[in-house]
Amino acid sequence: MKRDSDVNPVYEEWKSSTGRQKEWLLQELIQKMERFAMAICWQRLPDHGDSLEALVNEVVWKALQNEPKFKGRARFSTWFYRIVSNACNRYLRSFKRKCEVPLENEGNQVLSGLPARVAVIEILDGLNEDEAKLCQLVAEGYTWAEIGEILGMTRQGAQMKWRRLKEALRDA
């Protein structure tokens, strides 16, 4: 099955060409790589359409810079796919970090949602040492990863402990 964005034939032709033909084929290869990368990015990052063009340009540039490292053990499209896939994964990780809600806001929402008749001091006095430390770290604005590291657990473990503590506070 031949697709419009199949980079393999153009890459092979570009590698074996010389002179003006090599320049022309490089332009064609870049266009094919951009289409191929855009198709992968749209599939992997469907909700990030605004950022995809910059990501695609970065990926194509990195691939062309690293092309001499391509050993030819696999097809060029497979090698390029891994580059695009890894770039998408890095983008998602950085996007996730940027979108983390500041923890102090979440803590304030929990405390402001408690009924007025419940004294916060009484609730905090009833907490064990780990729960009190968790509340302190949340109030100071640490990230979940930092909180987990300080408490000797994973980020998810710290988040779960916070959820359980919020439920206990709501129940009180």
User: What pLDDT, on a 0 to 100 scale, did the predictor assign at position 124?
Assistant: 58
Residue 84 and residue 17 share a domain: yes
Residue 93 and residue 34 share a domain: yes
16 three-state secondary structure = helix
Residue 110 and residue 49 share a domain: no
User: What pLDDT, on a 0 to 100 scale, did the predictor assign at position 116?
Assistant: 41
**Does the residue 1 lie in any domain?**
no
Residue type at position 53: E
Residue 92 and residue 120 share a domain: no
Residue 93 and residue 18 share a domain: yes
Q: What's the pTM?
A: 0.52
Q: What is the DSSP string of 47-81?
A: T-HHHHHHHHHHHHHHHHHHGGG--SSS-HHHHHH
Q: pLDDT truncated to tens, each residue of the chain (172 aa)? A: 345 557 888 888 888 888 888 888 888 888 888 888 888 888 887 777 677 888 888 899 989 888 888 888 888 888 898 899 888 888 888 777 666 555 555 545 544 544 444 445 556 566 777 787 887 777 777 788 888 888 888 888 888 888 888 777 666 5
User: What pLDDT, on a 0 to 100 scale, did the predictor assign at position 169?
Assistant: 67
CATH number at residue 66: 1.10.1740.10
**Does the residue 2 lie in any domain?**
no
User: What pLDDT, on a 0 to 100 scale, did the predictor assign at position 110?
Assistant: 47
Say how many C-beta atoms besides its own lie within 10 A of residue 72's C-beta: 9
User: What pLDDT, on a 0 to 100 scale, did the predictor assign at position 113?
Assistant: 46
Residue 125 and residue 91 share a domain: no
Of 98, 121, 156, which marks where a domain is finished? 98
CA gap 114, 120 in Å, rounded = 9
Residue 19 and residue 94 share a domain: yes
CATH number at residue 147: 1.10.10
Say how many C-beta atoms besides its own lie within 10 A of residue 45's C-beta: 17
Residue 69, token pair as written in the block: 């490292």
Inter-residue contact 7 to 28 (CB < 8 Å): no
Range of the domain at 23: 8-98
- With CA atoms as reference, report the closest residue to 35 among 53, 12, 13, 14: 53
**Does the residue 68 lie in any domain?**
yes
Residue 29 and residue 79 share a domain: yes
Q: How many domains does the chain have?
A: 2
Of 46, 76, 98, which marks where a domain is finished? 98
Residue 84 and residue 32 share a domain: yes
User: What pLDDT, on a 0 to 100 scale, did the predictor assign at position 121?
Assistant: 53
**Does the residue 3 lie in any domain?**
no
CA gap 40, 34 in Å, rounded = 10
Residue 2, token pair as written in the block: 């031949």
